[in-house]
Structures are given as C-alpha cells and as structure tokens.
Chains A and B, each alone.
Chain A
Amino acid sequence: MLSVENKLDMLRKMLLIRHFEEQAEELYMEGKVFGTFHLYVGEEAVAVGACAALQPDDYITSTHRGHGHCIAKGADVKKMMAEIMAKDTGYCHGVGGSMHIADVEQGNLGANGVVGGGIPIAMGAALGCKLQKNGKVVLGFFGDGASNTGNFHEAINMAAILKVPVVFICENNHYAMSNPVKNALAIADISERSGAYGIPGVTVDGNDVLAVYEVVAESVERARQGKGPTLIEAKTYRFKGHSKSDKNVYRTKEEIESWKARCPIKRFKGYLAENDGVPVKKLEDIESQVEQDIAEAIVFGLESPEPTLEEARKMVYA
C-alpha cells in the first residue's frame, strides 16, 4: 500500500520529469544541449508508476526516450543535465548523451538508442539475477515500435521459457516516430501478444500513475516469486514530437489537445487533493522545489568542464 508520502514522492518525480524536459527543450533552442533527444512529456505516469513498484536495488532498462525512466529510478538531475550538455560531470562523462544515460550502481542499465535494443538485455539481466539468486527484478521499458522488432519476440519467448524475473513494459504512446500504431499492428492491444509466449498480459491506462503502479507491483511480485515474466502495455501519449526535428505534421492539434486534457500530472494532483486531502499549497511547494532543483541542475551543467579525448579513449576497454 502506498502512503500519502509515497504518493507525494511520485508526484515530485513526475514534476521533476516534466520540468527537466521542458527546460531541456529550452536549452536545446539556446544551443546548450546538442544532438537530438526525445522528450517524455505526457508519459510521466508510466515511468513513475512502474519504478515506484521496485526496490531501490532492482534494475531497469530504458529506451531512446529515457529521461523519464532515469528520473523515476532515482537519477540525479544534475548529472543528467550535465550529460545532455556533454559535460564530464554527467552520468557518462558526456560521451553517452541523452540516449545512453545509465547508472548501473543504482540499477539503471541504460537508455538505448536502438529501438527494442534493450529488451534482450533486460531478459539477460534477469537471467543473471536468477542465477545469482539475488532476489532482484528487472523492468524492461520499450515502446510500441519496439514491439514489432525481432528482439521483442525473441527476448520475451526466452524469458518465458527460462522463467526469469523480468517485467516487460510497453509504453504505447501511439506513434513510432510518425507511424501510428494502427498502421504497424493488426491487433488492438499489444498486451495480446503475451498469449503467444504463455505469459500474462495486461493493458493499463498509462496516464494513471496509480493504475500503472498497481499492475506493475503485481507483476514484480509475481516475478520475484519465480513465476516468470509479464507483459504490460501502458497506453499513453507524447505531447511533444518524436525528436527535435519533428514538425508534428502527422497528427492533428485536436488529437494532441485531447490528450493534454488527460495530463497525468494534472490528474494525479486532482486525485491527491480530493482523495488524500493534500492541500493545494503543499502541491505548489513541491512544484517550486522541483523548479529550484532543475535550475540548480542547469547551473551545475553549464559550469561543468568537458571531457577530454584522452579520458574518453580509456573508456573503450575495461
């Protein structure tokens, strides 16, 4: 059971993701963040609801849209901001960037630039945990696009056969870049695919953080008891484009607005006020603290040094 404190921490993380992403976008416009990146705005409930169901030493694998997962797993936004600014103080010393943020010690086995690339790694990490009998569980995040790759099918099949402690979480945000999910799948729910592997599958409202928490908690428990994997599909939506080059021509303003009306953060705030009697002031305080944390992270990133080529070369081999 989640306490009010737990729930407020979940809200804090959702806000941290939202503000991190919005500031990252600003910084990109100002030329202080490089390359490309993929914003998680609108999907916060999935990462936060799912990671809230984990113990601190459990593992996750993430996606190219990974900032939200990192924050939900407890990453330090200073080190994340430094990483996307390509600074030496970042999680990957500025050589990994947005799509490769990892923190193995805290259980984050990395974002991933290859769609579906992390799914076999999640299965393998879970196999390692099973063999080591360490009681840990792995959450593998991926998107609707990844569910059409061979990696998805091979890894879930093998996970099911080996009964490893992994929970596969498909974030169905309805578009693989510009391709709507209805053009890429002939079935209504990606979770239906679980039947092909003999594991449970469930679809959940990905904009409802508590609903996500509940199904993931149940699946995590199942995995921890040695009963094998579950496939969860969380239906959600990204408010922003696929990446920084996206002109959003493939979807209508009306559609985007209709999903914004279902904003997971607004919804969760409403829930906390109504059901847990959290005063509005308290919610505002959390948000201003988050804004301050992000502001500090930006300063930390901007003031940090860049990595040297010499140091980078040492990272190739152990």
Chain B
Amino acid sequence: MPEREITFREAVREALREALRADERVFLLGQDIGIYGGAFAVTLGLIEEFGRARVIDTPISEAAMIGAGAGAALVGSRPVVEIQFSDFIGIGMDQLVNQAAKIRFMFGGKATVPMVLRAPIGCGTGAAAQHSQSQEAWYAHVPGLKVVMPATAYDAKGLLHASLLDDNPVLFFEHKLLYPMKSAVPDKPYTVPLGKAKIRRSGRDVTLLAYALQTVKCLQAADLLADQGIDAEVLDLRTLRPLDTEAIAESIKRTHKAVVVYEAPRTGGFGAEIAAFIGEELFDELDAPVMRLGGLDMPVPYNPNLEQALVPQPDTIAGAVKKLLNRR
C-alpha cells in the first residue's frame, strides 16, 4: 500500500496531536492558537480535542510566553510555545537566551528545561522586513539551545517528536513556504534524531549543503545542473545545533567541493560556520575554496521580484556551482 502524503503543516499538527495524546505533561501556548488555529493554521482543531487548558491562547506577550515555557518546563511540564513569526522571538530574547538556554548550566546541571519553541521563519510571502527574516544563526550561536530546521513533511513530524522528547530548549523553525508541501508521512508517531543530516540526492561533483526551504531549492538546482552534465549532491543538514559534522565530512570526501546555501543574510550567517568547519577540518580534501551562497545583506523587501532576488534560487545556485567548478 502506498504511504499517504500529507502537507508539512499537517505533519507538524499531527506530531503535536500525537504528543498531546501520549503525554499529559505536554501543552501548547501561543497567540491565536485556539479556535483561530494559529497564524499559519498549524494548530487548527487541537483546541477542540484538548481544550483550553492544554491549548492556551495568550495575550501578545512574547517575553511572558517564552518565560512561561521555561518556568513550566522547570517544574516538570513539557510546553510547546508558538511564536507567531520568528521575527518576534527577539521581544522575548532575554527569556530565551539568558534564562531558558542557561538555566541548566547555571544550576550546575541540576535542572532541565524541556521546552520547544516553534516559529515560522523565512521570506517569500510578501510580508516584508519584519515578518520574513531568517535568524537561525542568532540562536545557533547560543550554547544550551538546539536549532531544528526541517525541509520535508516527513522530517517535520519526526524531528518535532524528537524535539518534544528532548530535555533541552529546542527552537523548531518552520519555513513558511514549506507548509503546503507534501511528502509521504507514516500515520503513527516516529522520531527523526536531532543532529543527523540526510543526503537528499547523491552526486559526485559538488556538495550543496542546505537546510529548510533551501534544501528544496538545491534539489531544483541539482536538476538544472544535471541537464548540463554536473552531478551535485544535496545534503540536508536538518539540525544546526547539534550539527552533523560527520555527514558533512563524508560528503566532502566524495565530492571535494562545497557550496553552502542559506536564506539568511550572508554576513555572519550560519553558512559561515559550516564553511569554516570544512576549511579547518577538510582542507586537504578540497579542490576549491568553500563557497557561501547566502541572502543579500538587506532587510527583506516587499516588492515580490526583489524578494525573490534577495535569496538563493535554483538558477542562482546552479550559477554559483558552475562558477566554482570553472575556477582555475
């Protein structure tokens, strides 16, 4: 029997529903997540099944929401906090970075903060500069946090289950353009382990390293390149912290060339971290310098053509690969 296909959005919702059913310590907290179903309709229908006590609509108070997650996690609950757009996490940054991320360490390893913070991320919806950012590097920079960025519906469900079982604060970023995308997803709970990358397409000539929506863009770029006789491997990192350096090394040892592709502004982005790792640890394997293809260093513009041009697209990725391969 062929496996059913569901959307990324449905996969996230399904993981939440299964976790709420399986573990009474789990509850959801966020703005408009009840009857409204969340700004991106991810939690639609959950309040009907689990009630207002476990699907809690909050006022617009990001610091209090994130702090509520940390406090509840400290006393044995397993909260899932939804921040409506990742851009707004900054309003509660102290509670995330100074509190949730550091509590375990500051307490000498004697406490756990098992909370998941879910937020839509990324551009492509015409929502302009304050609703479209990709700030994963801010959070991946903080010891104590984990950062998860799935690219498929299957991974969204499995990684969310793994995040819910994890005893650390986990940031779970959902790229908005992935929500309607479908893939085969088992209708039972399962986990995809944090810290394991996945080869989405095998290739010999170059490794494209990406995560979230850029994985999809890289696969499209690989198709374009295949038409021109270039065999690109696409490695989906899936989690940034912990980072699967082993899988990165294995791929580079096969292809000897790397392009890191990410949507966030190029300068100081997480792509630099990956490029630096490859440069430091795999220098002898490289036939060319590691290339970073990030977003432009600009707030996200409203104009749809400019917005498209801001971040890597299949043709720009393919172009960057050809430039790298033609390097002498």
Closest B residue by C-beta to A108: B107
* Contact present for A129 and B75 (CB under 8 Å): yes
Tell whether B27 is near chain A: CB-to-CB under 8 Å: yes
Contacting residue for B108 out of A61, A95, A157, CB 8 A: A95
Contacting residue for A121 out of B56, B65, B71, B108, CB 8 A: B71
* Contact present for B105 and A95 (CB under 8 Å): yes
Closest A residue by C-beta to B146: A317
Contacting residue for B68 out of A90, A124, A318, CB 8 A: A124
Q: Mark A104-131, 1 if CB is under 8 A from B, else 0.
A: 1100011011100101111111111101
- Distance (whole angstroms) from the CB of B222 to the closest CB of chain A: 34
Tell whether B103 is near chain A: CB-to-CB under 8 Å: yes
Q: How far is the CA of A59 from the CA of B106 in the complex (A)?
A: 18
* Contact present for B168 and A92 (CB under 8 Å): no
Tell whether B229 is near chain A: CB-to-CB under 8 Å: no
| Interface size class, chain B | 35 or more
| Residues on the A chain within 8 Å of B59, using CB | 154, 157-158, 161
- Count of A interface residues, CB-CB < 8 Å: 49
Q: Mark B284-310, 1 if CB is under 8 A from A, else 0.
A: 000000000000000000000000000
| Residues on the B chain within 8 Å of A117, using CB | 67, 94-95, 98-99
> Which of the 9-residue segments B2-10, B109-117, B258-266 touches chain A?
B109-117
| Residues on the B chain within 8 Å of A131, using CB | 27, 53-54, 72, 77
Q: How far is the CA of A284 from the CA of B248 in the complex (A)?
A: 69
Among B64, B76, B95, B167, residue most surrounded by chain A Cβ atoms (within 10 Å): B64
A90-B108, A117-B94, A158-B59 are known contacts. Are A123 and B99 too (CB-CB below 8 A)? no
Q: Mark A277-318, 1 if CB is under 8 A from B, else 0.
A: 000000000000000000000000000000000001011111
A92-B108, A96-B108 are known contacts. Are A124 and B98 too (CB-CB below 8 A)? no
Interface positions of A (Cβ within 8 A of B): 59, 61, 90-96, 100, 102-105, 109-110, 112-114, 117, 119-129, 131-132, 136, 138, 150-151, 154-155, 157-158, 161-162, 312, 314-318
Interface positions of B (Cβ within 8 A of A): 25, 27, 53-54, 56, 58-59, 61, 63-77, 79, 94-95, 98-99, 103-112, 114, 143-144, 146, 166-168
For this complex, 18 residue pairs linking A to B, each with C-beta atoms less than 8 Å apart, are A94-B108, A103-B110, A104-B107, A104-B110, A117-B95, A121-B70, A124-B73, A125-B74, A128-B74, A128-B79, A132-B25, A132-B76, A132-B77, A150-B63, A151-B63, A155-B61, A316-B104, A317-B168
Seed contacts A128-B77, A316-B105; 20 additional CB < 8 Å A-B pairs: A59-B75, A93-B108, A95-B105, A96-B106, A113-B98, A120-B66, A120-B67, A121-B74, A123-B67, A124-B67, A124-B73, A125-B71, A125-B75, A128-B72, A128-B73, A132-B76, A154-B63, A155-B61, A158-B65, A317-B144
